[in-house]
Chain A
Amino acid sequence: AQKITQTQPGMFVQEKEAVTLDCTYDTSDPSYGLFWYKQPSSGEMIFLIYQGSYDQQNATEGRYSLNFQKARKSANLVISASQLGDSAMYFCAMREEGGFYKLIFGTGTRLQVFP
């Protein structure tokens, strides 16, 4: 069964520094997609970045990049030049190919950025 593990319940980072949020996953399906979402205190989940299992290069979106290590089944999110507005919960999620669309989430990491 597919599973997402986020082992860091909370992380602190100083403004303008980079931070890495860990995510490991478990699946027996060779085709899958990995997503990162941000959840500010307002509650909605905001899509940040996507990595496909067959993608040769690590995904990047502005200040967000994904450190994808397929053999280790990890997909860590790197946020560069942290800003105060980055303080939020961050969730890693996975989708397997086939069937109806379904996202499976981890427990999340609370990131706090301090001045």
Chain B
Amino acid sequence: ETGVTQTPRHLVMGMTNKKSLKCEQHLGHNAMYWYKQSAKKPLELMFVYNFKEQTENNSVPSRFSPECPNSSHLFLHLHTLQPEDSALYLCASSQADRVPMNTEAFFGQGTRLTVV
């Protein structure tokens, strides 16, 4: 049982739909992340939240909108996506900044998103 839970596990949506991905962590961490995993490409860090504040946005298109209402929950709101946005979206959490270098991040099982 992972300490980071993502729902839904699978999502198929049309290009005009609006949907949201949810991530919840039970580890007492105060940093959360969204990563995008496409085939044959490195995991791409999309957004970083520390203490509920967004600290990084890696040039992600505005059709992806993150929300972090508290340190335990992270959402990714999706609207008017493109077929190339189909990927596995992974959520992760860790202790926040100024932590020892060997601090690991914990990941959820991901949401497999297909845009049709």
Report which A residues bind B (CB closer than 8 A): 4, 9, 31-33, 35, 37, 42-47, 50, 52, 91, 95, 97, 99-108
Contacts and interface: CB of A to CB of B under 8 A. Distances in A.
Interface string B80-116: 0000000010101011110101111111111010000
A75 to B, nearest CB: 14
Contacts of B2: 44
B42 A106 contact: yes
Contacts of B9: 43
B97 A99 contact: yes
A95 B50 CA distance: 16
Contact of A33 (B35, B43, B94, B101): B101
A35 B104 contact: yes
A95 B101 contact: yes
Interface residues of B, number: 33
A101 B105 contact: yes
Contacts of B42: 4, 104-108
Interface of B: 2, 4, 9, 31, 35, 40-43, 45, 48, 50, 55-56, 88, 90, 92, 94-97, 99, 101-110, 112
A45 B90 contact: yes
Nearest to A89: B37
Which of B35, B97, B105 has the most chain A CB atoms closer than 10 A to its own CB? B105
A43 B43 contact: no
Which of B31, B99, B102 has the most chain A CB atoms closer than 10 A to its own CB? B102
Given A99-B97, A101-B103, A107-B40, A44 B56 contact: no
A100 B40 contact: no
A103 B105 contact: yes
A45 B56 contact: no
Contacts of A37: 107
